[in-house]
Amino acid sequence: MADGELNRELKSFLLDPPTNPSLLKGKRIAICCTNGVEEVEILGAHRWLTEHGATVHVVSPRIGEFHPTLGLRFPPQCATHVLAIRLMENAGWLKIDRYTDEARAEDYDAMLLPGGCWNPDALRMDQHARALVSAMYEAGKPTCAICHGQWVMVSAKILKGKRATAVWNIQIDLENAGATVLDEPCVVDGNLITARFPYDLPRLINAMVKQLVSARG
């Protein structure tokens, strides 16, 4: 891993043992995604949150079928798993814990929308995912996104008048949705928490955890 403050933070985040395994005991967190989710963003977050006591669910839409005239089919495994990617290559399958049409805001204390360009571009089309994002945000619970994950926030129409960030090439989309965009590793505006790319993940999770622990206290 290349040197640099953010790089060192990510290495520590991914590899260091948990400092407080009961920190998030009793907290339930949804990682909402679909096929094409960026591996380090979902696995890094899932591992850290779980090792610090949280119950973490991978929440994903049900995958249907393409119209027969297209001559395309999803792999059967898509019914129960999402395919993670590592930038430009497939990285393995992750089991779905709950489908978006089953998930409710009252079931979770926080949510994360990871990136990977393909993932949020498909996820934003799912009405149940958009509804869950809106409900979490309106309930005042930490509603977080990183990299391209903010596309789902755009489609959920929760960014107008808010401060936020995202990976550089979609910052214009946030502006067009009415957000004030800041080029910073992590931007917190109330319970809306956003970050730019994988190296910012530790700061995003830290901001989420601060709000979760504060809510408990």
Give the catalytic positions in this structure.
147
Task: For 61-87, give the DSSP string.
Answer: PPP----GGG-----GGGGTEEEEEET
Whole-angstrom Cα Rg for the chain: 16
d(CA 76, CA 81): 9
At 88, give phi and psi (nearest 5°).
Answer: -120, 10
How many CA within 13 A on the CB side of residue 208?
33
